[in-house]
Structure 1
């Protein structure tokens, strides 16, 4: 008989446990609701004080933004020539160290007699070009189609030169626009006033000009040979084969090779002229930017920061008052 009653007791126990669980859930929701209601009542009670603090904060922040001098910056994009990248970074570190040390003698040597070190800063970083792996894969596939030709060698050489010599951004931070402009110009003059790289540049320019003159002389000779060939096109006796000629009883000349040589000489002259145009300084200036205001994050602006501080201080005082009241209740 007792065995028959045992399952009924277990079922009743399960119903009791489920009912207790529902009660606990109900109490939990009621607690959350009361907590939200208390916050609502607290905000409702202090609504005018909170609005007043927000308006006061906006007013103070707006006033400070008008009084405090805004920071400006100028970005200069440069490209180091003649393996001068390490020199460029070391020189910028030297200038920044002298700014932090407020070394007026150093800047007088640069031609800057009056300098305000407040807010003055110089930084440099590499300009990273955007690219995708998919684009690189297609580019490599295109290069493979050239196989072992002279074209692929020229392309690879140009790509290696471009990838190994990135552009760099020098950023000047300052407060006075006129003084900042003079400072940035004097610094760029100082960077390019290096004796070692100046001598290298002079030698490079001289060699490039000599190369152009020699190419022009050789090009004139090739043009003369081609002109003579054109005049003798009608004479079958002076032509040996389809693409070879004999001039003044000398060895045969490959006319196709002459045209190829002429094109190579023209390309070489054009390349050297472009190099002379680009390589005028050790630190080639690509873009000397205009001054611009330093943009700060939204919460970093005083017009938003001051009201946030006021509200935070108000809630902190309220929490401390609440804890003080609760601590008084615990006293015996």
Structure 2
């Protein structure tokens, strides 16, 4: 009895599976039949379709002709030892203002004229080392790229200092820069005083003007040690003075490349989109005409 029940269940499952397969096959058959019908109608109404394609191409070319050309270029910046997400937050706000066409705010932030701000079409940015850092790690001091699309290619030259100053003038970054600058300048001033003192000692040792006992602070004077110490201090001073030149939190690695030809709009892209839209509209109208013709013939 139990065996008969299992065979009955198995037979029922096979019937259900066959039914599903048959329905799927019928669905594909109907789909292919519908596609063949649409293609027959399109070929039958080829003149109508050609008119719609020509109309779509003409409209697309007209839109392309009146669309302002734009130029796209990118610059790469290197950060100091600061978190990249701080820079991302600043650039996100600037990108939002550009997207919202808030040109007065953009001009104020970048310290450019409102007319120049209106020539900015789009701005985007990306971290170059984002894929090299683990998800639970903080990206710090990594280079990043800013891509800018402008309606005026001459504006790229002034946008480089405008963007770097915008990032550099962040209140937090500016404060940290001033603190570090004071520290380095104090160290340089201290080293200059020490070097001047050692130079005086070397002069006294090499050209004594009175009785010299040969001892300073209970130790014999060794001119060689004085010269060695002076050189070490001078090297440290030169290093710190070089550090003063590198206190900027943001430095340009590669600037915007001057563009001679516009990046867009693309005529081929406009024509392709126009052709697709006009083909779809023409197909719908052709199917409606064919449907009306069939109903009249019945």
Provide TM-score, normalisation by structure 1: 0.50
Q: How many residues align?
A: 236
Q: CA deviation at 1:283?
A: 1.6
User: What's the Cα RMSD here?
Assistant: 5.2
Deviation by residue 1:127-155 (Cα, 9 ceiling, x = unmatched): 24777xxxxxxxxxxxxxxxxxxxxxxxx
Q: CA deviation at 1:43?
A: 4.9
Q: CA deviation at 1:294?
A: 4.3
8 A contact 2:78–2:253 mirrored in 1:
yes
Q: Show the 5 A alignment for 1:170-249.
A: 170-179=146-155, 181-183=157-159, 185-204=161-180
Aligned to 1:233: none
Q: How many Å separate the matches in 1 of 2:161 and 2:79?
A: 17
For structure 2, the 5+ residue unaligned runs are 1-29, 196-219, 221-232
Aligned to 1:124: 125
Pair 81,121 (structure 1): closer, same or farther in 2 beyond 3 Å:
same
For structure 1, the 5+ residue unaligned runs are 1-30, 132-159, 219-247, 249-264
8 A contact 1:78–1:287 mirrored in 2:
yes
Residue 285, structure 1, aligned to residue 261, structure 2 = no
Aligned to 2:102: 102
Q: Any idea what SS the aligned residue of 2:146 has?
A: strand
Q: How many Å separate the matches in 2 of 1:34 and 1:197?
A: 67
Aligned to 1:168: 144
Deviation by residue 1:249-294 (Cα, 9 ceiling, x = unmatched): xxxxxxxxxxxxxxxx9x9999978866655x11222122225544
Pair 69,103 (structure 1): closer, same or farther in 2 beyond 3 Å:
closer
Aligned to 2:84: 85
8 A contact 2:156–2:256 mirrored in 1:
no
Q: Any idea what SS the aligned residue of 1:114 has?
A: helix
Q: CA deviation at 1:176?
A: 2.6
Q: How many Å separate the matches in 2 of 1:97 and 1:37?
A: 48
Tell me which of 271, 277, 292 is aligned to 1:324: 292
8 A contact 2:61–2:270 mirrored in 1:
yes
Deviation by residue 1:7-55 (Cα, 9 ceiling, x = unmatched): xxxxxxxxxxxxxxxxxxxxxxxx9999898667645544444445444
Provide TM-score, normalisation by structure 2: 0.54
Residue 309, structure 1, aligned to residue 257, structure 2 = no
Aligned to 1:153: none
